[in-house]
Amino acid sequence: MPDEASPAAHQTLRILTHLSTQRGPVAAATVAAALGLPRSTVYRLLGVLVEHGFVIHYPEARRYGIGLAAFEMSSGFSRQEPLTRLGAPVLASLVDRVGESAHLAVLHGRDVIYLVDERAPRRPALVTDVGVRLPSHVTASGRALLATLPDSQVRALFPDRSAFVHGLARGPRSLRELRTLLAEVRARGYAAEDGDVSTGLASVAVAVRDASGWPAAGVAVTFPSDGPTQDALTGLVAEVQLHAAELSRRIRGAPLR
């Protein structure tokens, strides 16, 4: 029976994820259209989620939003801080290897939130302090994470040009530009930005995946734009990829080899 249950579980998680990225409650028809699911399926799964408190139904508005049970789960995640605990030693190792500052970020709606910030000695100050939020489509970490998502979810996160408005001067300004950029990330195997967040600084990042293949976090290294040669940059990217794979192994609970 696991094979029969898997699609329903996958669809349920997609619905919860979609609802968690919205700025307010949304109609079931909107959820169905954004995720490409039959309306009957969405209504049925929303009913189950409402029954268990993960979703709230607002009958007058005919809309659905995240419920208290989902909030309690997120609070449990915050209390346990698994990514912070597992990621900190991995980032420390990465900084030791490359001599540049590294950080760990997670996707939250259209933003990324920085959970770990490991500074290398005598390197430039960064804006990526723990708890800082930045637009995902501008940062290397955010681009690495967005590149792992289905097109439908990227479209749901960035439904129109207003979604691209932010306080930074650079970055894609439309869904078409963002899709082009994310295609480049997938083809290259890592994300990059140069001066999009801070003038004179560049970053490369790789997504960390959980056991289901879903993006759990982004590991990034930031360095002066005029710093590494192409060979050095290739080596730096390889180290980021290696350490992202190690963190992925850790969050999956895989035993040490």
Question: Please, what CATH class does the domain formed by 2-73 belong to?
Answer: mainly alpha
DSSP category for residue 186: H
* Per-residue confidence band for 37, with pLDDT thresholds at 50, 70 and 90: very high
- pLDDT over 60 (residue 161): yes
pLDDT at 24: 85
pLDDT at 68: 80
Look over the chain and give the mean of its residue pLDDT values, rounded to a whole number. 87
Amino acid at 230: Q
pLDDT at 234: 93
Domain spans of the chain? 2-73, 81-251
CATH fourth-level superfamily of 81-251: GAF domain (3.30.450.40)
Q: Where are the alpha helices (DSSP H) in the chain?
A: 2-21, 28-35, 39-51, 68-80, 82-98, 140-146, 151-157, 175-188, 230-251
- pLDDT over 90 (residue 210): no
Average pLDDT over residues 111-133: 83
